[in-house]
Amino acid sequence: MIHQYTEGDPDLPVLLLLHGTGGGPDDLLGLASELSPGSGTLAPTGPVSENGAARWFRRLSEGVFDHDDVLARADELADFLTAAREKHGFGRVVAVGFSNGANIAAAVALTRPDALNEAILFSSMSPLPEPPQLDLTGSRVFLSNGEQDPMAPLPANDELVRQLRERHAEVATHRWLGGHQVTVEGVSAARAWLARVEA
């Protein structure tokens, strides 16, 4: 998988940066430095092309995901992460995803907790109707969503929260009166959440 890796403070988690549709590895570097200054970053490029726009998995239409592809791509990303850990010698990883990147991070957290058990998700929704019934005890997920987000409607985000919680993941939510974007308030809440985890 095409990616960029930047080494950071070994006492801090490496941030796995997962861009939104049409984005690239550089998109979330500024966000990473806001969330955890000094952290290393691992920023891959989504392997799926949708009319030339990089994505993490196929969709059949706006908001309608190809669930078989979601599962296959979640496995692919989990295996990539495991290999990157071995290659670069880092331990703890926190995924940071926006939109389609947040959705693939959620899919990996739900299906491959062996590879990823901490994530910060901006503008996410449930990527799978029936994730496997895994015990996610020890997993931690922070979700920030706009209450008027047309692309990641709140009920679809609520479904993701429910799926995580019923599998015993520790979930924190941040809601705001807006649409499909990363906000200053969301970043501040995510930074505080990450600091509490690190403490």
Just list the catalytic residues.
Answer: 99, 149, 180
Which two tokens mark 106? 């959620």
Angstrom distances, CA of residue 165 to CA of 67, 106, 137, 149, 188 = 21, 13, 9, 22, 23
Q: What are phi and psi of 14, to 5 degrees?
A: -80, 135
Partners of residue 176 on adjacent β-strands: 146
d(CA 46, CA 66): 15
